[in-house]
Amino acid sequence: MTERLAAAEERADALRKELAAAGRAFARLPDPPEPLTAGELAARALSGRSERKATEIPAGPPDRAPGTIAAARADLAAGRRSAVDLVEEALERARAGRHLGAFLRLEEEEALLEARRLTGSPGVAGQGGSGGRPLFGIPLSVKDIVDVAGMTTTSGSKFPHEAARSAPAWRRLSEAGAILLGKNNLQEFAFGVSGDNPTFGRTRNPHDPARIPGGSSSGSAVAVATGMGYGSVGTDTGGSIRIPASLNGVFGLKPSYGAVSRAGVTPLSWSLDHVGPIARSAGDIGLLFEVLSGWSSGPAPPPAAGSTPLAGVRVGVPLDFFYTDLIREAREAADGIVAGLVRLGAERVEVRIPEVELSGVCRNVLAFAEAAVVHRERLAARPDDISEDVRRLLEVGTVLSAADLIAALKGRRLVAGAFQRLFEEVDVLVAPSAPAGAPEAGEPLATAEDIRPGLIRLVGPFNFTGLPALSVPAGFDGLGMPLGAQLVGGPGRDFAVIRLAAWLEASGATPMRQPSIEPPG
């Protein structure tokens, strides 16, 4: 234990040195920042929803792509398929792809029973009545950190609990008519980005099973990418939705902080945790987010005539931080998303956000300290039942001080303020989701960075600031592995980034490939 604490103190001291350097920068400011609380971030999101200062994004074209919720709903309404058909097809793919490790638990009998009940209920001929439920008969999955009444929640760990009631996130989806296929694999306690779970096994990238799927919502992204259901609910503390969405070539939204309830979801770091959807289209993301949040997208202005539906939209392209230390294909993928928006009439605006350099160390301090509090009893009573990598991070949190935490919260106000000013000049920011494609398990990124800091680097700032960030498919690396780009909006501007993604998708700027689910020969 003494050696463990010494290692934790050493890492905490390194964080303190970085914080001290940031503190000296704070002291030179005309108005040194005060701590910024999570409650203020949530309030900003609610305020941002009602503001009309930013450019209003027109609604995109209807989404009817095969394999999407929109296409399945159309089939159900027309009587071409039933809820039973949808569930059976998803279960068949899940069984065929067991080697990918996407599910910890498949609810085969229960899902089919619910599908038959819905199909046999009165209403639309042969399909059952939707009763205004937008997800009627649609099979979905949830990351096994989300409580579902009567089921065990493992949180990917050796510390399971029985859920007496469903988390609001799943309850809303269920009330909207969704059918639960099962619970997805994840990184232990959602504290990691590789998709490797020492208790339940590794999740594998379906585009190349030797490579990582990203995490911590690894099973959710793999299930969506392979058609094991039409969407999933993940969580995102430092990129845990957007990283696997990017590495598996699907869409993943980290909403504005507080937009989706975190009740009934095992916490990691309550001021950085977000709950959000993973899906195969921007339209599906929008529908799932609307149900999960209870927010309404509201009326959208009609698009401008001709080939410039996004005329007046200002697209921020950061020249610093987000476009450094990338492989060539990752830069080209993000540039392609910017070019796609410009072709639709948007204006490219080059911006700089030097304050974002502080976000990494400050986010780490918050994450480690809060996670140590969340898991303090487990760490004290059964440390050997926590994997070494996660235990080390939790132990760092136990030796950080209140002064360290306050310094990190001051940094949060400084960085959040810089982004708040930025979104007075632009409507959306475009940045790569990851600096490179998925590496082989146990290997560093193609940028030579270690997996954890490398994959968090470009996505973590938006957990820190609470801004909505949507990862969209944007291209492929030299080995054919998917790459993503983030569309980031101001507080509460979730539907704005979703609509922009829908325009990009309709224009062909978000390339996707259906991976094989056949076991390797």
Tokens of 59: 């609604």
- With H, G, I as helix, E, B as strand and everything else as coil, classify residue 146: strand
Is 216 marked active-site? yes
The catalytic residue among 82, 143, 217, 220 is: 143
R_g of the chain, CA atoms, integer Å:
22
Angle between helices 38-50 and 402-422 (to 10 degrees): 20
Query: What one-character DSSP code corresponds to residue 520?
Result: P
Note whether 439 and 251 are within 8 A (CB).
Answer: no
First to last CA, the chain: 45
Distance CA 295, CA 274 (A): 16
User: CB-based burial of residue 467 (10 Å sphere; 0-12 exposed, 13-18 middle, 19+ buried)?
Assistant: buried
Single out the catalytic residue among 217, 240, 256, 359. Answer: 240
- At residue 488, the 3 state secondary structure works out as strand
- Cα 253 from chain centroid? 5
**Tokens, residue 12:** 């905490």
SS (H, E, C) 103-114: EEEECHHHHHHH
Catalytic residue chosen out of the listed positions 216, 220, 271, 281: 216
**Can you list the alpha helix ranges (DSSP code H) found in 317-375?**
328-343, 359-374
Question: Residue 129 in 3-state DSSP?
Answer: coil
CB atoms within 10 A of CB 89: 16
Using alpha carbons, select from 438, 439, 435 the residue that is nearest to residue 447: 435
* Maximum pairwise Cα distance, the chain: 70
Tokens encoding 278: 């993973």
User: Buried b vs exposed e over 441-457: b needs ≥16 C-beta within 10 Å?
Assistant: beeebbbebebbebbbb
406 touches 414 (CB < 8 A): no
CA dihedral sign, ordered 33, 39, 45, 48: negative
CA 306 to chain centroid, in Å, comes to 34
List C-alpha distances in Å: 494 to 254, 284, 487: 9, 14, 10
Cα–Cα distance for residue pair 484/432, rounded to 1 Å: 6
CA separation for the pair 510, 501 (Å, rounded)? 8
Residues annotated as part of the active site: 143, 216, 240
